[in-house]
Structure 1
Amino acid sequence: MRERGVLVWRRIPDLERPQRGFSEATEEEQWKEKWGCGGGAFSCLSMAGKKEKKEFSPTSDQLLKHPLALLAFVPKDAALFAAGAIAGAAAKSITAPLDRVKLLMQTHGVRVGQESAKKAIGFIEAIALIGKEEGIKGYWKGNLPQVIRIIPYSAVQLFAYETYKKLLQGKDGELSVVGRLVAGACAGMTSTLVTYPLDVLRLRLAVEPGCRTMSEVALNMLRDEGIASFYNGLGPSLLGIAPYIAVNFCIFDLVKKSLPEKYQKRTETSLATALVSATLATLMCYPLDTVRRQMQMRGTPYKTVLDAFPGIVARDGLIGLYRGFVPNALKNLPNSSIRLTTFDTVKGLIAASEKEFKRIVEENHEKQNQSTST
């Protein structure tokens, strides 16, 4: 690249030469003596280089021929944030019917009373009930607040995970297994804390009769239960999401990293890896999700996690902690796969665009050098 030199010459008056011999002077005095210029004056010569970074940037014609390079102009953090938001919204909308079924099964005990163990609603029964009472639209009831919530939730979670990984990586740039788990746990708690009131609204809208809109649910909760009701169940939510995201993201990263390089960039590899990581994380953390949902309900008898666990087991048995697990698994597996695969694909596109941009710049530089030589 071309460089431009900037010459600065400044005289400093009243700077005396050292009185001692050159060999006896300090290192600073020797340097000043060596570069001094008559009459005790001192001069300093400094040069600064300025690179013309944009000189070899791709032209409009080159960008039309290589559109991937256009992505290099988008700030990397903004691209990752947007990718997380889009992936989350798409995944939630696709799996909304299964989520509605899961919520009805999870909260059945609180809604029907103490005899819920004898009146447990099954997966097929829940699907039929929604269709009979509410029609096709019923399967997507509560999806709007869920999408509104998932856009910041997914974006914050995936972006925070990348940020926490950078903060926790060692001097060699490597991240330990513990570091990945901590990064995932912190990312999950950060996104949950930011969007939790929307999650409560979505649940109330999905399972409580008589509420038509999200604003109506919010006003009723604020009037009847106070602002604290928007954070009911926050404790088990944080406890549940931290290990879930930690295990999910950590397994996804480690499995992908352990595969041969030629397989790592394939979309089907990301999908399969995401399915494995989501399955293991769901099995470990689902009981806390059931506790969270029952604590979010109006009139819940549970005030703390320690009350909820024995209460659910006493009323519904151990199976009560896994109510709605099948639709949740069917929902979470494609949901997690879509999110992680989309995010992973965008990261790959960003890296590819940076390489393409750099290649064009180097090509333009080489052409300029050849033209100058000629």
Structure 2
Amino acid sequence: MASVKKDNRLTSSQSFMCVGFSGLFSKTATSPLEVVKIKSQVGTFHCKRGFWQSFLLIYRNEGLRGFWKGNLASCIRLFPYTAVHLTTYRKIVHHQMDELGFVSQWRAIFAGGLAGVAAALVTYPLEVAETRLVVQNCRQPTYHGVIHCISKIYGNEGLLALYRGFSLTVLGAFPFSVGCYAVYMNLDKLWQEPPFRFTPLQNFINGCVAAGVAQTLSYPFETVKRKMQAQSARLPHLGGVHVHFTGMVDCFIQVVKNKGVLSLWNGLTANTVKIVPYFGLLFTCFEMCKQVCLYRNGFIVSPLSYQLTPGVDQSLGPYELQEVKRYLKNRSFRSESSSLGNRW
């Protein structure tokens, strides 16, 4: 899917930090759209008058702070999610490689889906906490922070409440992967050139289109999942969910019966609008962080440009380049010592 491209000139820790920082920044910047989307999916009163009115109602009832509810849980979730996702993805892809080390695009996307499910399993309680924090009124809060939210859910509702709706993550992974595959299989036809010739702008557009199609196909599963995460008999108005249900299948039935099929896509406007700024900021921040790291590693002459350092083999890894520099420095030092000894 839309992801930053791996650069072998960065260390693993540098790549992880670049992805983490760019994810934090893009998530925080687009948090208002995420709040509107989640409230629309759950069905709170804020989002019953349309996309733009939702912003006004949230601002009037909760102020600016209301647009960043749950953002801390989302940001905390990012690092373990990324770590587990990358590790699992690499292991799955390694087993799917042929004798030449090649992996088909379909298998790579399938591996990404499985890795996403594994990462979601580890970080799912944080997603539940994010939903609960977003749905509540921050001026009359039930939960006071991420840790308090998780501990209170566990104490009052049990461990299973922290994984309520997780099966929908697994079910939603299938249409999500199909959407990604359908888009990427037709990109070369759209641009009329092979993928390895795509420019950064083309890759950005490809990522946005793939994200839009994939998320639209899997959106009903996410909508029901958010409702299941939010509903609780121990919360005011049962958590603000506009329909009451007893399980996953009943939730689908009640939503379609009472609100219509299209209500399964409530909040899709906010989600679609969010895609472009989210991935734009993600790619931009990643590239800026990468430039700083490449400069520190010695591959470029300035952190403000991509001008390559003269005489540096760009195919080397960061540790290999350090070894080469250390060898040349030692050889130069020995040469100077030998020259000095000959003079005496």
TM-score scaled to structure 1, two decimals? 0.66
Q: Which moved more, 1:349-358 or 1:305-314?
A: 349-358
Aligned to 1:98: 33
Residues 160 and 314 (structure 1), Cα distance of their counterparts in 2 relative to 1, 3 Å cut = same
- Alpha-carbon distance, 1:260 to partner: 6.0
CA contact (8 A) 2:59 2:66 kept: yes
Aligned to 1:273: 206
Aligned to 2:262: 319
- Alpha-carbon distance, 1:152 to partner: 1.9
What's the secondary structure of 1:97's corresponding residue? helix
> 2, 12, 15: which one pairs with 1:80?
15
* 1:232-259 Cα deviation digits (max 9, x unpaired): 1111022224542674489569958964
Q: Which moved more, 1:270-279 or 1:327-336?
A: 327-336
- Alpha-carbon distance, 1:302 to partner: 3.5
* 1:318-368 Cα deviation digits (max 9, x unpaired): 111110001011223433454467668959969947368767867967x96
List alignment gaps of at least 5 residues for structure 1: 1-70
Aligned to 1:239: 171
What's the secondary structure of 1:354's corresponding residue? coil
Equivalent residue pairs, number: 292
Q: What is the correspondence of 1:100-179 to structure 2 with a 5 Å cutoff?
A: 100-108=35-43, 111=44, 120-179=48-107
Q: Name which structure has the greater RCO, CA cutoff 8 Å, separation 6+.
A: 2
> 248, 251, 266: which one pairs with 1:308?
251
Larger-gyration structure (1/2): 1
Q: Which moved more, 1:292-301 or 1:229-238?
A: 292-301
Residues 88 and 321 (structure 1), Cα distance of their counterparts in 2 relative to 1, 3 Å cut = same
Residues 240 and 339 (structure 1), Cα distance of their counterparts in 2 relative to 1, 3 Å cut = farther
CA distance in 2, matches of 1:83, 1:320: 37
Residues 344 and 187 (structure 1), Cα distance of their counterparts in 2 relative to 1, 3 Å cut = farther
CA contact (8 A) 2:179 2:217 kept: no
CA distance in 2, matches of 1:343, 1:238: 29
CA distance in 2, matches of 1:77, 1:245: 26
CA contact (8 A) 2:180 2:210 kept: yes
Aligned to 1:283: 216
Aligned to 2:110: 182
What amino acid sits opposite 2:148 in the alignment?
A: E
Aligned to 2:272: 329
CA distance in 2, matches of 1:344, 1:242: 31
Residues 197 and 250 (structure 1), Cα distance of their counterparts in 2 relative to 1, 3 Å cut = farther
The answer to whether 1:354 aligns with 2:316 is: yes
TM-score scaled to structure 2, two decimals? 0.71
Aligned to 1:215: 147
CA contact (8 A) 1:96 1:140 kept: yes
CA distance in 1, matches of 2:211, 2:55: 24
Identity of paired residues, percent? 27
Aligned to 2:237: none
* 1:200-256 Cα deviation digits (max 9, x unpaired): 011101112323322332333223212211111111022224542674489569958
CA contact (8 A) 1:99 1:331 kept: yes
List alignment gaps of at least 5 residues for structure 2: 1-7, 233-240, 300-313, 336-344
What's the secondary structure of 2:316's corresponding residue? helix
- Alpha-carbon distance, 1:138 to partner: 1.3
What amino acid sits opposite 2:48 in the alignment?
A: A
What amino acid sits opposite 1:219 in the alignment?
A: S
Residues 77 and 104 (structure 1), Cα distance of their counterparts in 2 relative to 1, 3 Å cut = same
Residues 174 and 293 (structure 1), Cα distance of their counterparts in 2 relative to 1, 3 Å cut = same
CA distance in 1, matches of 2:63, 2:278: 24
Residues 288 and 343 (structure 1), Cα distance of their counterparts in 2 relative to 1, 3 Å cut = farther
CA distance in 2, matches of 1:149, 1:221: 17
